[in-house]
Structure 1
Amino acid sequence: MTDFTKYKVPYELADAYAKRVAYFSMEFAIHQPLKIYSGGLGFLSGSHLRSAYELKQNLIGIGILWKYGYYDQTRNQDQTLKPEWYEKTYSFLQDTGIKFQIIVHDNPVWVKAWYLAPETFQSAPLFLLSTDLPENDYLSQTISHKLYDADTAAKIAQCMLLGLGGAKLLDILKFNPDVYHLNEAHGVSAVFHLMQKFGSKEAVQNRLVFTTHTPEEAGNEKHDFHLLNKMSFFNGIPMDEVKRLTGMDGDIFNHSLAALRFARKANGVSKLHGEVSREMWKNYSDIPEITHITNSQNFSYWADKQLYRFMENEDDSGFLDRKRHLKKRAFELVADQTGKLLDPDVLTIVWARRFAAYKRADLITRDLRRFDALMRNTKFPVQIIWAGKPYPMDYGAISVFNQLVHLSKSYPNVAVCVGYELTLSKRLKQASDIWLNNPRVPREASGTSGMTASMNGSVNFSTYDGWICEFADHGKNSFIVPPANYASMSVQDTDEYDMNKLFEILENEILPTYYERPKDWRNMLYKGMREVNGFFESNRMAAEYYQLMYDPK
């Protein structure tokens, strides 16, 4: 077994990436068999670790081994959504032999560290923490049971496991990072361990960087100061001192604000999100420079290499044959789940990602007359697939999912899938001709699913938000809902405007191009595939983090 007490990354490092980095994230989507992620944050951190491996960077991941994962998305008898939790076991994880304690609610809780070796899934080293140990009482064991537990105290304990537990593990490993990178603010409790380790806020700031993914101040995690103090969140530092260090008055602790005030540098996850973040935090004092590094996805994991080969060889018929094969293969999974056998020669629209209110999964169905006409169009036939996981306690999002299930029963060319994880995500991207993305602007910080859709021969159709603002060339590599003056519009007016534009572009541009100008369609695909693999591939992103965030200069 590897000796984990004097740990170093177990492969030869590239000179440009020798600086030691510890990357904290609540979730990592590394590969389908390791179910410790919920959505975009995990997909992003998974691609980051894969690119760190490909570039031979001196970076290790710190996460949590979720015993029951996020949840397993199954169905009730009437096909509606049923969240279930099954115990996961992983023979490919190594037992480090490391056990240590953190204090939660004034009580010691045992923590065990597991290790995902780089060669297992071609990713940077990843250490995963668990409290599911016989030495702990049942309540302590449950800290690492369910990703994003709905119980407030449990969620705080999970953040402590990641932050305090992760920082303590790094001491035990003797990895001694030059940079502690918080991917979102879940791990911000690490700063209270680092305060005691290094002795001053300035010393912590010299080593800490922070990536925010939240484009609205209200969306940032906040908890009551007294509850956090009672739960030992501040690692023995008196509450008055914490308030002084974080510059927060009152009774509410803002996790992102604390992360910003302890970081030497911060970043948003797209150009637009960087602008939104700077605007959002501009009235707060003691905020570091907020730059942006646009999220990206890993080509070697996500892209269909044969599509790219046919494109580069200018073999159009080979390309079309391959795309048809990919669609047909994916449609077998859809048929197995739903009984709907879709046609590989029909324009296929896919909406698939996390179900959340602002992402508006059902937007295209809100004018039922128009939707019905679209689905019954015999000149330009269309088929639509929905998939994605709502948060299991978000009953509004679950209701939208279930409405779509009931709607799909009226159409042979509409399907709603469950089990939206890495494998189904990849298959549905391969199945799609149009990757539909219609969040309310500017609510989407980045939104990377369209990148991997492009890597699999699909055209993005999106509102003008997140990463797409840096990519889109309407009618050339994608289709874009032209932005309106949303700031002056009500939510209802915004939704109506966007929905009408969706239909107009679908009916007047997308369908005629797909069916009547196949060469133009193919050129759009090719342009999108080339351009997404240029700037929106995660090796560029992982390199930029070293250049822009990890280097103190």
Structure 2
Amino acid sequence: MDFKNFKMPYSINKDFTEKTAYFSMEFAIDQALKIYSGGLGFLAGSHMRSAYNLKQDIVGIGILWKFGYYDQARNSDQTLLPTWTKKMYSFLEDTGIKFQIEIHSAPVWVKAFYLKPETFDTAPMFFLSTDVPENDHISKTISHRLYDANESTKLAQYILLGKGGAKLLDMMNFEREVYHLNEAHGLPAAFYLLNKYGGDMEKVKEKLVFTTHTPEEAGNEKHNIHLCSDMSYFSGLNIDAVKDIEGVSDDRFNHSLCALKMARVSNAVSQLHGEVSRKMWNKYDGICEIKAITNAQEFKYWADKNLYKAKDKNDNSAFDERKKLLKKRAFKIVADQTGNLFDENTFTIVWARRFAGYKRADLLLHDKQRFEKLLNNPKYPVQIIWAGKPYPMDYSSISTFNSLVEESKNYKNMAVLTGYELALSKSLKQGSDLWLNNPRVPREASGTSGMTASMNGSVNLSTDDGWIPEFAKNGENSFVTPLADYDNLSIYDQDKFDLDNLYDVLENEILPMYYDEPKRWREVVKNAMNDVKDQFNSDRMATEYYEQIYRK
């Protein structure tokens, strides 16, 4: 293939002809390609698969992380040990394209690799690396670890994605009408374009669209504007001009705010998140319109087809047998990692996603008496599994993970698993009866793991946040705890309110239904499978991006 004059490798669907480049720090495409950390990557991976299904004129641009995010190993006492292993990918094609970009006022070499659409059924994708012989050691490390803890390295990674990605498109003579930033990490692309177009902001705005994922202002990344300038983030634009664009006078550069000023249009990732984002950002002058396109996951990749076949044939015995088989398979992983033998006939709860404070992984353990009662109930036996990756420098979340590991040593029906990546995620969704999700409202912008759980016959029990208000019919396709007056409650009281309600729903509704009314439980499972299939399939999401964001 001639990458110097790249052409889309498949015929484009006439409904999706806007030429788009999608910039993301992470993509969860396949277990074999470990360049993601969590939900942002799962979303981006599903988006790229749906773009391929629909034959959209879109390419993905990311970074080839040499050590990935990190590998989740264990210390000798079973606690979490982050490790980093060099990754090798024979299925990526060397484009032969090498070019330089300025990072920290010095030229850095960038090499581009290509992922063919047919490898994993995705849109064409390009991954950038600075790990080449021409670079010094520091420059090589830019593309080593996803979300590096060092501030300068992190900014260099944003520059690599944004400026490097935009320059790659120019190197390939591959004109794009839309530059879509999935989160503000790729914002240096906007400053690259501003420089390219001689300071014409209207030309940049014409091309730039932005997806925001963070539902509270404090969670949006800010860095010292002088450090950003020293790192060559702004492609030569002086600090005063950057402050004029951002519209603030202090020295904290807010990446998301600046993206909202430079983009033509942006979107939040659920309807609730849209409301939260507009309320949060509308106090600033000159931000673009914030729409809402609810996140979704690709049905074809995630859903268990045999479970759906049995459901569609109304063959309840085949349906129940299939679910038991899926549980058995997942429990082999539990046995392998922990030595606990789980039973496919026992009600199984799973909490699995990124460990972060607001997601409250250990909320059920805040009431030890009730937790013991739940796990030792002879009438309604329960098994419970936790899994997820804390950020490797988030010591509070690592401590939560480790405390769960310690607690699990007291119970044969409790397990904490490592290696929460695409493969384990799929297995746990197939192996669970109940997908537990208890973030503090309204901190979860979307939270897509529950979608793929429903695609595998698992029922959501959730606080009413993210995508849940658009999906949930309480008691019919999921279970949702009541909303508290979160604005006026302390964190302690919020946690207590949600904890009591989670236990009440579990003890009084869910467990009696599962064991005493299996037919009714099966109907809830099937309703969830029906309701998630189209509305929360990323083909719908990818279509909406074209209709609402890319099309002018």
Category of TM-score, reference length = shorter chain:
over 0.9
Aligned residue for 2:405, secondary structure, equals helix
Counterpart code for 1:318: A
Q: Does the CA contact (< 8 Å) of 2:109 and 2:135 recur in 1? A: yes
Partner of 1:274: 274
Tell me the percent identity. 63
Partner of 1:203: 203
Counterpart code for 2:475: G
1:310-329 pair list within 5 angstroms: 310-329=310-329
Partner of 1:475: 475
Counterpart code for 2:374: L
Deviations 1:293-320 (A, max 9, x none): 0000001100000000000000000000
1:42-441 pair list within 5 angstroms: 42-199=41-198, 200-441=200-441
Q: CA deviation at 1:245?
A: 2.5
Q: CA deviation at 1:230?
A: 1.0
Counterpart code for 2:545: Y
Q: CA deviation at 1:76?
A: 0.4
Q: Does the CA contact (< 8 Å) of 1:228 and 1:234 recur in 2? A: yes
Partner of 1:512: 512
Deviations 1:335-384 (A, max 9, x none): 10110110000000000000000000000011001100110001000000
Aligned residue for 1:444, secondary structure, equals coil
Q: Mark the runs of 5 or more structure 1 residues left unpaired by the alignment.
A: none
Deviations 1:516-535 (A, max 9, x none): 00111010011000000120
Distance 2:438 2:243 in 1: 40
Distance 2:197 2:27 in 1: 28
Deviations 1:242-280 (A, max 9, x none): 222232312111000111001010100000000000000
Aligned residue for 1:493, secondary structure, equals helix
Q: CA deviation at 1:223?
A: 0.5
Counterpart code for 2:519: K
- Root-mean-square deviation (CA), in Å? 0.6
Q: CA deviation at 1:161?
A: 0.2
Deviations 1:457-501 (A, max 9, x none): 000000000001100001000000111111110000000000000
Aligned residue for 1:14, secondary structure, equals coil
Q: Does the CA contact (< 8 Å) of 2:385 and 2:415 recur in 1? A: yes
Aligned residue for 1:324, secondary structure, equals helix
Distance 2:35 2:283 in 1: 36
Distance 1:243 1:483 in 2: 40
Distance 2:147 2:162 in 1: 15
Distance 1:115 1:352 in 2: 31
Distance 1:166 1:248 in 2: 28
Partner of 1:503: 503
Aligned residue for 1:17, secondary structure, equals coil
Distance 1:126 1:496 in 2: 46
Counterpart code for 1:182: L
Counterpart code for 1:192: F
Distance 2:396 2:242 in 1: 37
Counterpart code for 2:456: N
Counterpart code for 2:471: F
Partner of 1:538: 538
Aligned residue for 1:16, secondary structure, equals coil
Q: CA deviation at 1:198?
A: 2.1
Q: Does the CA contact (< 8 Å) of 1:224 and 1:252 recur in 2? A: yes
Partner of 2:487: 487
Counterpart code for 1:374: L
Aligned residue for 2:534, secondary structure, equals helix
Aligned residue for 1:384, secondary structure, equals strand
Q: CA deviation at 1:74?
A: 0.5
Partner of 1:529: 529
Aligned residue for 1:115, secondary structure, equals strand
Counterpart code for 1:309: K
Deviations 1:138-188 (A, max 9, x none): 000000000000000000000000011011001111111110000000000
Distance 1:416 1:174 in 2: 49
Counterpart code for 2:135: N
* Greater alpha carbon shift after TM alignment, 408-417 vs 234-243: 234-243
Distance 1:416 1:114 in 2: 36
Aligned residue for 2:100, secondary structure, equals strand
Q: CA deviation at 1:236?
A: 1.1
Aligned residue for 1:48, secondary structure, equals helix
Aligned residue for 1:460, secondary structure, equals strand
Distance 1:500 1:61 in 2: 44
TM-score (norm 2): 0.99
Aligned residue for 1:487, secondary structure, equals coil
Q: Does the CA contact (< 8 Å) of 2:195 and 2:236 recur in 1? A: no
The runs of at least 4 consecutive aligned structure 1 residues that moved more than 6 Å come to: none
Q: CA deviation at 1:332?
A: 0.3
Aligned residue for 1:223, secondary structure, equals strand
Q: Does the CA contact (< 8 Å) of 1:201 and 1:245 recur in 2? A: no
Q: Does the CA contact (< 8 Å) of 2:386 and 2:416 recur in 1? A: yes
Counterpart code for 2:310: F
Distance 1:46 1:74 in 2: 24
Distance 1:329 1:294 in 2: 32
Distance 1:287 1:409 in 2: 51
Distance 1:28 1:387 in 2: 20
Aligned residue for 2:15, secondary structure, equals helix
Deviations 1:405-451 (A, max 9, x none): 00000000000000000000000000000000000000000000000
Q: CA deviation at 1:130?
A: 0.2
Partner of 1:26: 25
Partner of 2:444: 444
Aligned residue for 1:98, secondary structure, equals strand
Counterpart code for 1:21: T
Distance 1:354 1:244 in 2: 37
Counterpart code for 1:104: I
Q: CA deviation at 1:241?
A: 1.7
Q: CA deviation at 1:6?
A: 1.4
Q: Does the CA contact (< 8 Å) of 2:3 and 2:172 recur in 1? A: yes
Q: CA deviation at 1:51?
A: 0.1
Q: Mark the runs of 5 or more structure 2 residues left unpaired by the alignment.
A: none
